[in-house]
Amino acid sequence: MLEPNAAKTAHSADAIKSAADSAARQYIASNPLSGAINADAAHFLPGGNTRTSLWTNPFPLCMVSGHDQHLIDADGHDYIDFLGEFTAGIYGHSPKIVNDAIIAALADGVNLSSHNKWEGKLASMIIDRFPSMDLLRFTNSGTEANLMALAAAKAFTGRSKIIVFEGGYHGGVLSFPPGGSKTNVPHEFVLGTYNDQADTQRLIEENKNNLAAILVEPMLGAGGCIPGDPAFLHMLRDMSAAAGALLIFDEIQTSRLSAGGRQALLGITADITTIGKFFGGGLAFGCFGGRLDIMNQFNPSRVDALPHAGTFNNNTLTMAAGCAAVEHLLTPQALVQINERGDRFREDIQALFARLGAPFRVSGLGSIMNIHPISPSMHSADLRNLLFFELVSAGIYIAARGLIALSLSITDEDTATFLAAMEGILIKHKTLFLTT
């Protein structure tokens, strides 16, 4: 026989699951064309999916168009996009200045079998923003950028071990969720606990003679938008240098927190920095850059140069789009404004949760944040699903896992609409939530 508290918890879990299942049924009924498109794609793609982060049970929405901060799905529903392409869509959808740059570049040729006029210009714009980059190279994704950063660190130091952190995500083959990942590349990883200074100091000391690099996000992104403690990140800087290892800052998400990323806000200079996403104007893009002596390993005029190929590393569309976006849209002032709006928005969401006694919290920095259930794990998946389906029904689009990333197109009116929708959802389920 269950104890009273255990019985109450089990009843609460059943009630939350029932509510989540009901919301899922409504989602299915409201989105028949998205469901049909996914079912058809499943004949050719596993689960109808080719990008795991987009998957949502019972099927993901199929978006057919986007403009500014709005998305329209196959069934004609209009959403305010608070997901922002998982932080990559900082410019909103199809801004004219970027579209015009792409069209102009397209007229001259997508790939010109050689260098082009855009790549040096974009490189100079990025280096101006990141003092940690003396030289850089382009890739096609953030995953590639991090793979090349690790290769550079191992070649430069002649060492093999890489310290990473549980919850870290550096690409599809460099992912460290609880329980690990079977698709990771086989580097000699040493797994640490994020923000645990004492344990990380021990790991660095134990492995210092063969430690090539420490690879870290200044804020865990896919790991839940958990900010790195400044003292922890400064410790990594100091101890990696003392050990003769390189500090690699993965700023693929956090580079939007200021003109020079989070490292500029913290006064930390990494040995290698990786960026991606929006610096390519919204097209496929990645970049790794760092100290002159490290990056000169890739100078092809050297007889001992490290190889780094990639047919589309410097494709004209991405280079031109990146130049237009960085120069005209991703200005220091625009980044200050979007992150101030994000801080206010996150505080307002948290205040709403507290006022209504909702079993959620929100973490993050600036314009990136994540909503988390705070109840026992037996409730968590159903709580996430319930909130996601209810927000979709209200015309609000976030990640199913709770990620929110503001775009420059999002307005105060949009955040007010989100807060009103969230308040309505919390009031609707207030009795249910009070049992958690």
The answer as to CATH 3.20.20.450 being correct for domain 12-93+332-434 is no
Alpha carbons 81 and 254: distance in angstroms, whole number: 19
Instruction: Determine the pLDDT at residue 375.
Output: 76
Alpha carbons 333 and 225: distance in angstroms, whole number: 23
pLDDT confidence band for 74 (50 / 70 / 90): very high
Q: For residue range 16-61, list pLDDT tens digits in order.
A: 999 999 999 999 999 999 999 999 999 999 999 999 999 999 999 9
Would you state the CATH architecture of domain 96-328? 3-Layer(aba) Sandwich (3.40)
How much is the mean pLDDT over the chain? 95
What value does the mean pLDDT take over residues 318-331? 98
**Is a pLDDT exceeding 80 seen at residue 435?**
no
Instruction: Determine the pLDDT at residue 432.
Output: 84
Locate CATH 3.40.640.10 in the chain.
96-328
Joined together, the tokens standing for residue 74 give 């196959």
Q: For residue range 105-145, list pLDDT tens digits in order.
A: 999 998 899 999 999 999 999 999 999 999 999 999 999 99
Burial code of 92-121, b = ≥16 C-beta within 10 A, e = fewer? bbebeebeebbeebeeeeeeeeeebebbee
Pair type for strands 272-276 and 246-250: parallel
Locate CATH 3.90.1150.10 in the chain.
12-93+332-434
pTM for this entry: 0.95
**Is a pLDDT exceeding 80 seen at residue 2?**
no
User: The dihedral of CA 166, 170, 172, 174: what is its sign?
Assistant: negative
**Is a pLDDT exceeding 80 seen at residue 5?**
no
**Is a pLDDT exceeding 50 seen at residue 4?**
no
Q: For residue range 218-236, list pLDDT tens digits in order.
A: 999 999 999 999 999 999 9
